[in-house]
Amino acid sequence: MHLPTPQGMSRRHFMQHMASAAATVPALQFISDVRAHAQDIKKAQKACILMWMGGGPPTIDIWDLKPGSKNGGEFQPIDTKGDLQISEHMPKTAMQMDKLSVVRSMSTREADHGRGRYYMHTSFVPNPTVVHPTFGSVVSSELGAKRAALEIPAFVSVNAPSGSPGFMGARHAPFVVSSNGQIRNASLGDKKDRLGQRLRMLSVIETNFINSKRGEMPKGHKEIYKKAVNLMTSKQMEAFKVAEESQETRDAYGTGGFGQGLLMARRLVETGVPFVEVGMGGWDLHNNVFNTLSTQRLPQLDQGIAALTADLSQRGMLDDVVLVWMGEFGRTPRINQNVGRDHWAASWSVMVGGGGLKGGQAVGKTDRDGVRVDGKAYLPGDIWATVSHALGIPSKTVHRSKRGRPMKLANGGSAIKELIG
Protein backbone atom coordinates (compact mmCIF):
# COMPACT_ATOMS: atom_id res chain seq x y z
CA MET A 1 0.00 0.00 0.00
CA HIS A 2 1.42 3.37 -1.03
CA LEU A 3 0.99 6.27 1.36
CA PRO A 4 1.27 9.71 -0.23
CA THR A 5 3.91 11.87 1.39
CA PRO A 6 2.58 15.24 2.62
CA GLN A 7 3.92 18.23 0.75
CA GLY A 8 7.07 19.74 2.27
CA MET A 9 8.00 16.55 4.19
CA SER A 10 10.54 13.88 3.14
CA ARG A 11 9.29 10.30 2.94
CA ARG A 12 11.78 9.26 5.62
CA HIS A 13 10.56 12.02 7.91
CA PHE A 14 6.98 11.09 7.17
CA MET A 15 7.54 7.39 8.01
CA GLN A 16 9.19 8.36 11.27
CA HIS A 17 6.06 10.33 12.18
CA MET A 18 3.89 7.36 11.25
CA ALA A 19 5.90 5.03 13.46
CA SER A 20 5.72 7.50 16.31
CA ALA A 21 1.96 7.82 15.88
CA ALA A 22 1.56 4.03 15.80
CA ALA A 23 3.45 3.78 19.08
CA THR A 24 1.33 6.55 20.54
CA VAL A 25 -2.01 4.85 19.84
CA PRO A 26 -1.52 2.09 22.44
CA ALA A 27 -0.28 4.70 24.90
CA LEU A 28 -3.37 6.81 24.34
CA GLN A 29 -5.51 3.70 24.75
CA PHE A 30 -3.65 2.92 27.97
CA ILE A 31 -4.28 6.44 29.29
CA SER A 32 -7.95 6.12 28.34
CA ASP A 33 -8.17 2.79 30.15
CA VAL A 34 -6.49 4.27 33.25
CA ARG A 35 -8.95 7.15 33.27
CA ALA A 36 -11.88 4.80 32.87
CA HIS A 37 -10.54 2.63 35.69
CA ALA A 38 -10.14 5.71 37.88
CA GLN A 39 -13.79 6.54 37.28
CA ASP A 40 -14.73 2.97 38.23
CA ILE A 41 -12.71 3.28 41.43
CA LYS A 42 -14.42 6.56 42.22
CA LYS A 43 -17.84 4.99 41.70
CA ALA A 44 -16.89 1.98 43.80
CA GLN A 45 -15.94 4.07 46.83
CA LYS A 46 -18.50 3.32 49.51
CA ALA A 47 -20.25 6.22 51.23
CA CYS A 48 -23.23 7.07 53.40
CA ILE A 49 -25.55 10.07 53.22
CA LEU A 50 -27.50 10.63 56.43
CA MET A 51 -30.61 12.78 56.18
CA TRP A 52 -31.14 14.09 59.71
CA MET A 53 -34.61 15.34 60.65
CA GLY A 54 -34.03 17.54 63.68
CA GLY A 55 -36.91 17.73 66.14
CA GLY A 56 -38.37 14.26 65.74
CA PRO A 57 -40.50 13.66 62.61
CA PRO A 58 -44.01 12.14 62.80
CA THR A 59 -43.20 8.92 60.96
CA ILE A 60 -46.77 7.74 61.47
CA ASP A 61 -47.77 10.41 58.92
CA ILE A 62 -44.94 9.67 56.50
CA TRP A 63 -43.84 6.02 56.41
CA ASP A 64 -46.31 4.02 58.52
CA LEU A 65 -49.81 5.44 58.13
CA LYS A 66 -52.77 4.04 60.07
CA PRO A 67 -55.92 4.67 57.99
CA GLY A 68 -59.10 3.91 59.90
CA SER A 69 -57.39 4.16 63.30
CA LYS A 70 -58.28 6.76 65.91
CA ASN A 71 -54.64 7.85 65.58
CA GLY A 72 -54.60 7.85 61.79
CA GLY A 73 -54.75 11.59 61.22
CA GLU A 74 -55.69 13.38 58.02
CA PHE A 75 -53.40 11.73 55.46
CA GLN A 76 -54.01 8.68 53.30
CA PRO A 77 -51.46 6.09 52.16
CA ILE A 78 -50.57 5.61 48.50
CA ASP A 79 -49.03 2.71 46.61
CA THR A 80 -45.36 2.86 45.63
CA LYS A 81 -43.04 1.08 43.21
CA GLY A 82 -42.08 -1.12 46.16
CA ASP A 83 -44.13 -3.52 48.24
CA LEU A 84 -45.27 -0.90 50.75
CA GLN A 85 -47.37 2.25 51.04
CA ILE A 86 -46.31 5.70 52.21
CA SER A 87 -47.93 9.13 52.64
CA GLU A 88 -49.95 10.68 49.82
CA HIS A 89 -47.77 13.77 50.23
CA MET A 90 -44.67 11.82 49.09
CA PRO A 91 -45.65 10.96 45.48
CA LYS A 92 -42.18 11.50 43.95
CA THR A 93 -40.51 9.37 46.59
CA ALA A 94 -43.18 6.71 46.01
CA MET A 95 -41.76 6.29 42.51
CA GLN A 96 -38.31 5.53 43.99
CA MET A 97 -39.40 3.15 46.75
CA ASP A 98 -38.26 0.07 44.84
CA LYS A 99 -34.77 1.27 45.82
CA LEU A 100 -35.60 2.25 49.43
CA SER A 101 -36.97 0.43 52.47
CA VAL A 102 -38.57 1.47 55.75
CA VAL A 103 -37.78 -0.06 59.14
CA ARG A 104 -41.14 0.41 60.88
CA SER A 105 -40.33 -1.14 64.23
CA MET A 106 -37.81 1.20 65.84
CA SER A 107 -38.11 1.30 69.64
CA THR A 108 -35.47 3.48 71.23
CA ARG A 109 -36.56 4.59 74.73
CA GLU A 110 -35.02 8.06 74.54
CA ALA A 111 -37.71 10.73 73.94
CA ASP A 112 -35.63 13.75 74.99
CA HIS A 113 -34.15 15.78 72.12
CA GLY A 114 -30.57 15.80 73.36
CA ARG A 115 -30.46 12.21 74.57
CA GLY A 116 -32.31 10.94 71.50
CA ARG A 117 -29.98 12.81 69.14
CA TYR A 118 -26.94 11.34 70.92
CA TYR A 119 -28.39 7.81 70.93
CA MET A 120 -29.38 7.80 67.26
CA HIS A 121 -26.04 9.24 66.13
CA THR A 122 -23.80 6.99 68.26
CA SER A 123 -25.81 3.82 69.10
CA PHE A 124 -25.00 4.46 72.78
CA VAL A 125 -27.12 6.13 75.45
CA PRO A 126 -25.37 9.13 77.04
CA ASN A 127 -22.80 8.19 79.66
CA PRO A 128 -21.04 10.76 81.88
CA THR A 129 -17.79 8.76 81.81
CA VAL A 130 -17.27 8.66 78.03
CA VAL A 131 -18.18 10.69 74.95
CA HIS A 132 -18.99 8.30 72.12
CA PRO A 133 -18.25 9.29 68.52
CA THR A 134 -21.08 10.17 66.19
CA PHE A 135 -21.22 7.53 63.46
CA GLY A 136 -19.89 9.87 60.82
CA SER A 137 -16.67 10.04 62.84
CA VAL A 138 -16.53 6.24 62.95
CA VAL A 139 -16.82 6.10 59.15
CA SER A 140 -14.19 8.82 58.84
CA SER A 141 -11.82 6.70 60.91
CA GLU A 142 -12.57 3.42 59.16
CA LEU A 143 -12.83 4.60 55.54
CA GLY A 144 -11.61 8.17 55.26
CA ALA A 145 -8.19 7.45 56.70
CA LYS A 146 -7.62 4.88 53.93
CA ARG A 147 -8.35 7.27 51.06
CA ALA A 148 -5.00 8.84 50.35
CA ALA A 149 -6.32 10.82 47.40
CA LEU A 150 -8.99 12.53 49.52
CA GLU A 151 -7.84 16.05 50.38
CA ILE A 152 -11.08 17.34 51.89
CA PRO A 153 -12.59 16.11 55.18
CA ALA A 154 -13.95 12.57 55.29
CA PHE A 155 -16.99 13.65 57.31
CA VAL A 156 -18.98 16.66 56.14
CA SER A 157 -22.07 18.02 57.86
CA VAL A 158 -24.43 20.26 55.88
CA ASN A 159 -26.89 22.29 57.95
CA ALA A 160 -26.82 19.64 60.66
CA PRO A 161 -25.80 19.37 64.35
CA SER A 162 -23.75 16.23 63.88
CA GLY A 163 -22.38 15.75 67.37
CA SER A 164 -18.91 15.05 68.66
CA PRO A 165 -16.10 12.82 67.39
CA GLY A 166 -15.73 11.75 71.02
CA PHE A 167 -12.74 9.55 71.71
CA MET A 168 -12.01 9.36 67.95
CA GLY A 169 -10.41 12.78 68.30
CA ALA A 170 -10.63 16.07 66.46
CA ARG A 171 -9.19 14.70 63.21
CA HIS A 172 -12.52 12.88 62.70
CA ALA A 173 -14.79 15.76 63.68
CA PRO A 174 -17.46 16.84 61.19
CA PHE A 175 -16.57 19.63 58.80
CA VAL A 176 -19.65 21.87 59.01
CA VAL A 177 -20.82 23.87 56.00
CA SER A 178 -24.01 25.53 54.83
CA SER A 179 -25.98 24.25 51.84
CA ASN A 180 -24.95 27.22 49.68
CA GLY A 181 -21.36 25.97 49.70
CA GLN A 182 -19.94 29.03 51.43
CA ILE A 183 -16.93 28.14 53.57
CA ARG A 184 -15.61 30.96 55.65
CA ASN A 185 -11.91 31.85 55.18
CA ALA A 186 -11.38 28.98 52.74
CA SER A 187 -10.12 31.13 49.85
CA LEU A 188 -6.45 32.12 49.80
CA GLY A 189 -6.58 34.58 46.94
CA ASP A 190 -3.07 35.96 46.37
CA LYS A 191 -1.80 35.04 49.86
CA LYS A 192 -0.31 31.63 49.03
CA ASP A 193 3.33 32.80 49.21
CA ARG A 194 2.87 34.37 52.64
CA LEU A 195 1.02 31.27 53.82
CA GLY A 196 3.89 29.06 52.65
CA GLN A 197 6.41 31.08 54.64
CA ARG A 198 4.30 30.93 57.79
CA LEU A 199 3.72 27.19 57.43
CA ARG A 200 7.44 26.52 57.16
CA MET A 201 8.01 28.48 60.35
CA LEU A 202 5.14 26.71 62.08
CA SER A 203 6.48 23.31 60.99
CA VAL A 204 9.85 23.97 62.66
CA ILE A 205 8.18 25.09 65.90
CA GLU A 206 5.72 22.19 66.00
CA THR A 207 8.37 19.58 65.14
CA ASN A 208 10.55 20.79 68.02
CA PHE A 209 7.52 20.80 70.30
CA ILE A 210 6.55 17.24 69.30
CA ASN A 211 10.13 16.02 69.70
CA SER A 212 10.06 17.26 73.29
CA LYS A 213 7.64 14.37 73.99
CA ARG A 214 4.59 16.43 74.85
CA GLY A 215 2.11 13.62 74.07
CA GLU A 216 -0.34 12.98 71.23
CA MET A 217 -2.19 16.31 71.23
CA PRO A 218 0.53 18.32 69.39
CA LYS A 219 0.71 15.60 66.72
CA GLY A 220 -3.04 15.77 66.28
CA HIS A 221 -2.92 19.56 66.04
CA LYS A 222 -0.24 19.42 63.35
CA GLU A 223 -2.25 16.90 61.32
CA ILE A 224 -5.43 18.97 61.58
CA TYR A 225 -3.59 22.12 60.54
CA LYS A 226 -2.10 20.32 57.54
CA LYS A 227 -5.54 19.12 56.49
CA ALA A 228 -6.89 22.66 56.78
CA VAL A 229 -4.20 23.93 54.43
CA ASN A 230 -4.86 21.07 51.99
CA LEU A 231 -8.52 21.98 52.10
CA MET A 232 -7.86 25.58 51.10
CA THR A 233 -5.55 24.63 48.23
CA SER A 234 -7.31 21.53 46.89
CA LYS A 235 -9.24 21.36 43.64
CA GLN A 236 -11.60 18.99 45.44
CA MET A 237 -13.10 22.10 47.05
CA GLU A 238 -15.11 22.36 43.84
CA ALA A 239 -17.38 19.68 45.28
CA PHE A 240 -18.89 22.26 47.62
CA LYS A 241 -19.92 24.54 44.75
CA VAL A 242 -23.47 23.44 44.01
CA ALA A 243 -23.96 26.59 41.91
CA GLU A 244 -21.86 24.92 39.21
CA GLU A 245 -24.59 22.36 38.61
CA SER A 246 -27.07 23.05 35.83
CA GLN A 247 -30.19 24.96 36.77
CA GLU A 248 -32.21 21.94 35.75
CA THR A 249 -30.39 19.75 38.27
CA ARG A 250 -30.66 22.33 41.04
CA ASP A 251 -34.37 22.72 40.40
CA ALA A 252 -34.84 18.94 40.45
CA TYR A 253 -33.46 18.76 43.99
CA GLY A 254 -35.38 21.81 45.17
CA THR A 255 -33.89 25.23 45.74
CA GLY A 256 -34.30 25.19 49.54
CA GLY A 257 -31.57 24.35 52.00
CA PHE A 258 -32.41 20.64 52.25
CA GLY A 259 -32.53 19.99 48.51
CA GLN A 260 -29.34 21.91 47.82
CA GLY A 261 -27.68 20.16 50.76
CA LEU A 262 -28.50 16.78 49.21
CA LEU A 263 -27.11 17.96 45.88
CA MET A 264 -23.89 18.95 47.66
CA ALA A 265 -23.86 15.54 49.34
CA ARG A 266 -24.00 13.84 45.96
CA ARG A 267 -21.08 15.97 44.73
CA LEU A 268 -19.09 15.16 47.87
CA VAL A 269 -19.54 11.38 47.77
CA GLU A 270 -18.71 11.53 44.05
CA THR A 271 -15.41 13.15 45.05
CA GLY A 272 -14.70 10.43 47.59
CA VAL A 273 -16.09 11.72 50.91
CA PRO A 274 -17.36 8.62 52.77
CA PHE A 275 -19.90 10.27 55.10
CA VAL A 276 -22.12 13.30 54.59
CA GLU A 277 -24.90 14.39 56.91
CA VAL A 278 -27.59 16.76 55.64
CA GLY A 279 -29.95 18.35 58.15
CA MET A 280 -33.54 19.47 57.86
CA GLY A 281 -35.07 20.99 60.98
CA GLY A 282 -38.55 22.02 62.00
CA TRP A 283 -39.99 18.62 62.92
CA ASP A 284 -40.90 19.30 66.56
CA LEU A 285 -44.58 19.52 65.65
CA HIS A 286 -46.53 19.82 68.89
CA ASN A 287 -49.01 22.03 67.03
CA ASN A 288 -50.76 22.09 63.66
CA VAL A 289 -48.95 18.99 62.45
CA PHE A 290 -50.97 18.18 59.32
CA ASN A 291 -50.98 21.64 57.77
CA THR A 292 -47.26 22.09 58.45
CA LEU A 293 -46.44 18.73 56.94
CA SER A 294 -48.57 19.08 53.82
CA THR A 295 -47.60 22.66 52.95
CA GLN A 296 -43.99 22.92 54.20
CA ARG A 297 -42.05 19.85 55.33
CA LEU A 298 -43.20 17.04 53.07
CA PRO A 299 -43.00 18.84 49.70
CA GLN A 300 -39.31 19.62 50.36
CA LEU A 301 -38.62 16.17 51.76
CA ASP A 302 -40.36 14.39 48.89
CA GLN A 303 -38.54 16.35 46.20
CA GLY A 304 -35.12 16.01 47.82
CA ILE A 305 -35.23 12.27 48.53
CA ALA A 306 -36.65 11.45 45.10
CA ALA A 307 -34.10 13.59 43.24
CA LEU A 308 -31.12 12.23 45.19
CA THR A 309 -32.18 8.61 44.75
CA ALA A 310 -32.83 9.02 41.04
CA ASP A 311 -29.61 10.97 40.46
CA LEU A 312 -27.42 8.41 42.23
CA SER A 313 -29.14 5.62 40.35
CA GLN A 314 -28.67 7.28 36.96
CA ARG A 315 -24.97 7.87 37.70
CA GLY A 316 -24.42 4.24 38.67
CA MET A 317 -23.59 5.23 42.26
CA LEU A 318 -26.60 4.03 44.24
CA ASP A 319 -25.24 0.55 44.92
CA ASP A 320 -22.24 2.15 46.63
CA VAL A 321 -23.98 4.95 48.54
CA VAL A 322 -26.15 4.12 51.55
CA LEU A 323 -29.04 6.49 52.25
CA VAL A 324 -30.37 6.85 55.80
CA TRP A 325 -33.29 9.02 56.92
CA MET A 326 -33.94 9.46 60.65
CA GLY A 327 -34.58 11.85 63.51
CA GLU A 328 -34.02 11.55 67.24
CA PHE A 329 -37.39 9.80 67.75
CA GLY A 330 -40.90 9.67 66.30
CA ARG A 331 -44.07 11.33 67.53
CA THR A 332 -47.07 10.16 69.51
CA PRO A 333 -49.73 8.16 67.70
CA ARG A 334 -52.28 10.11 69.72
CA ILE A 335 -53.09 13.54 68.32
CA ASN A 336 -53.04 16.21 71.05
CA GLN A 337 -55.50 19.05 71.67
CA ASN A 338 -53.41 21.42 69.53
CA VAL A 339 -53.69 19.10 66.51
CA GLY A 340 -50.06 18.12 67.01
CA ARG A 341 -48.08 15.09 68.03
CA ASP A 342 -45.67 14.95 70.98
CA HIS A 343 -42.40 13.07 71.57
CA TRP A 344 -42.52 9.30 71.12
CA ALA A 345 -39.70 6.74 71.03
CA ALA A 346 -41.60 3.48 71.57
CA SER A 347 -42.64 2.77 67.96
CA TRP A 348 -41.48 4.68 64.91
CA SER A 349 -39.67 4.42 61.56
CA VAL A 350 -36.30 4.92 59.86
CA MET A 351 -35.80 4.86 56.08
CA VAL A 352 -32.75 3.20 54.50
CA GLY A 353 -31.72 2.37 50.95
CA GLY A 354 -28.96 2.14 48.40
CA GLY A 355 -25.57 0.63 49.19
CA GLY A 356 -26.61 -2.73 47.77
CA LEU A 357 -29.32 -3.10 50.43
CA LYS A 358 -32.67 -4.57 49.46
CA GLY A 359 -35.26 -1.95 48.58
CA GLY A 360 -39.02 -1.88 48.22
CA GLN A 361 -39.99 -3.35 51.57
CA ALA A 362 -41.26 -2.54 55.03
CA VAL A 363 -39.23 -4.26 57.75
CA GLY A 364 -41.07 -4.84 61.02
CA LYS A 365 -44.45 -3.45 61.92
CA THR A 366 -46.45 -1.61 64.55
CA ASP A 367 -49.93 -2.45 65.80
CA ARG A 368 -53.16 -1.11 64.30
CA ASP A 369 -52.96 2.18 66.20
CA GLY A 370 -49.19 2.60 65.95
CA VAL A 371 -48.76 2.48 69.72
CA ARG A 372 -46.37 -0.46 70.04
CA VAL A 373 -44.07 -2.61 67.95
CA ASP A 374 -45.64 -5.86 66.84
CA GLY A 375 -42.82 -8.41 66.84
CA LYS A 376 -39.09 -7.68 66.63
CA ALA A 377 -37.95 -4.17 67.59
CA TYR A 378 -34.81 -2.50 66.28
CA LEU A 379 -32.30 -0.16 67.92
CA PRO A 380 -29.95 2.51 66.50
CA GLY A 381 -27.09 0.00 66.63
CA ASP A 382 -28.98 -2.28 64.25
CA ILE A 383 -29.36 0.54 61.73
CA TRP A 384 -25.67 1.46 61.90
CA ALA A 385 -24.61 -2.20 61.83
CA THR A 386 -26.60 -2.51 58.59
CA VAL A 387 -24.89 0.60 57.21
CA SER A 388 -21.49 -0.78 58.27
CA HIS A 389 -22.22 -4.02 56.43
CA ALA A 390 -23.06 -2.08 53.27
CA LEU A 391 -19.89 0.02 53.62
CA GLY A 392 -17.68 -3.01 54.12
CA ILE A 393 -16.73 -2.20 57.73
CA PRO A 394 -16.28 -5.51 59.61
CA SER A 395 -18.92 -6.13 62.26
CA LYS A 396 -16.26 -7.30 64.73
CA THR A 397 -14.52 -3.93 64.67
CA VAL A 398 -13.73 -2.68 68.17
CA HIS A 399 -12.60 0.83 69.09
CA ARG A 400 -11.14 1.92 72.40
CA SER A 401 -12.00 4.90 74.53
CA LYS A 402 -9.31 7.18 75.89
CA ARG A 403 -9.22 5.02 79.00
CA GLY A 404 -8.74 1.88 76.94
CA ARG A 405 -12.28 0.59 77.32
CA PRO A 406 -13.34 -1.56 74.32
CA MET A 407 -16.31 -0.21 72.34
CA LYS A 408 -17.98 -2.53 69.85
CA LEU A 409 -18.93 -1.15 66.46
CA ALA A 410 -22.52 0.19 66.57
CA ASN A 411 -22.69 -0.92 70.21
CA GLY A 412 -22.79 -4.54 69.08
CA GLY A 413 -25.89 -4.08 66.92
CA SER A 414 -26.81 -6.62 64.25
CA ALA A 415 -27.29 -5.95 60.55
CA ILE A 416 -30.96 -6.33 59.60
CA LYS A 417 -31.29 -9.60 57.70
CA GLU A 418 -34.19 -8.50 55.53
CA LEU A 419 -32.06 -5.65 54.18
CA ILE A 420 -28.74 -7.42 53.61
CA GLY A 421 -30.19 -10.65 52.20
Q: Residue 235, by phi and psi: left (phi above 0), alpha (psi -120 to 50) or beta? A: alpha
- Average predicted confidence (pLDDT) for the chain: 87
What is the predicted pLDDT for the residue at 205? Answer: 64
**How large is the C-alpha radius of gyration of the chain?**
25
Contact 294, 89 (CB under 8 A): yes
d(CA 256, CA 75) in angstroms, rounded, equals 24
What is the predicted pLDDT for the residue at 327? Answer: 98
What is the predicted pLDDT for the residue at 43? Answer: 46
Q: Is the pLDDT of residue 272 over 80?
A: yes
Amino acid at 398: V
Mean pLDDT of 258-287: 98
CA 118, 119, 123, 125 torsion-angle sign: positive
pLDDT digits over 94-149, tens only?
999 999 999 999 999 999 999 999 999 999 999 999 999 999 999 999 999 899 99
pLDDT digits over 10-22, tens only?
445 444 544 444 4
Q: Which residue has the higher pLDDT, 32 or 235?
A: 235
- Residue 179: pLDDT band by 50, 70, 90 thresholds? confident
The pTM assigned to this predicted structure is 0.84
- Residue 340: pLDDT band by 50, 70, 90 thresholds? very high
What is the predicted pLDDT for the residue at 66? Answer: 98
Work out whether strand 321-327 and strand 275-280 pair parallel, antiparallel, or are unpaired. Answer: unpaired
Within 13 A of 312's CA, how many CA atoms are on the CB side?
A: 33
Mean pLDDT of 209-213: 60
Helix axes 135-142, 380-391, angle to 10 degrees: 20
pLDDT digits over 386-410, tens only?
999 999 999 999 999 999 999 999 9
- Residue 33: pLDDT band by 50, 70, 90 thresholds? very low
Mean pLDDT of 239-243: 95
Mean pLDDT of 242-263: 97
Domain segments of the chain as ranges: 45-181+241-420, 184-237
Answer yes or no: CATH 3.40.720.10 is held by domain 45-181+241-420.
yes
